[in-house]
Amino acid sequence: MEAILHGILLSFGLILPLGVQNLFVFSQGATQPKLMRAFPATITAALCDTLLIVLAVFGVSVIVLQLNWLRMVFMIVGAIFLIYIGYTIWRSKAKTNENTGAVPVRQQILFAMSVSLLNPHAILDTVGVIGTNALKYNGVAQVYFTIACISVSWVWFFGLTIAGATMKKLDVAGNLMNIINKCSALFIWGTAIYLIMGIT
Domain count, the chain: 1
Which letter, b or e, does each residue of 173-182 get, where b requires 16 or more Cβ atoms within 10 Å of its Cβ? ebeebbebbe
Average pLDDT (39-59) is 89
Report pTM.
0.75
User: Which structural domain, as residue segments, surrounds residue 47?
Assistant: 41-199
Q: Residue 121: what pLDDT?
A: 62
- Please check whether residue 34 lies inside any domain of the structure: no
- Please check whether residue 61 lies inside any domain of the structure: yes
pLDDT band at 100 (very low <50, low <70, confident <90, very high): very low
User: Could you give the maximum distance between any two Cα atoms of the chain, in Å?
Assistant: 53
Q: What's the one-letter identity of residue 28?
A: Q
Q: What's the one-letter identity of residue 73?
A: V
In the predicted structure, residue 97 carries a pLDDT above the cut 50: no
- Please check whether residue 98 lies inside any domain of the structure: yes
- Please check whether residue 2 lies inside any domain of the structure: no
Q: How many Å apart are CA 189 and CA 191, to the nearest integer?
A: 5
34: left (phi over 0), alpha (psi -120 to 50) or beta: beta
- Please check whether residue 15 lies inside any domain of the structure: no
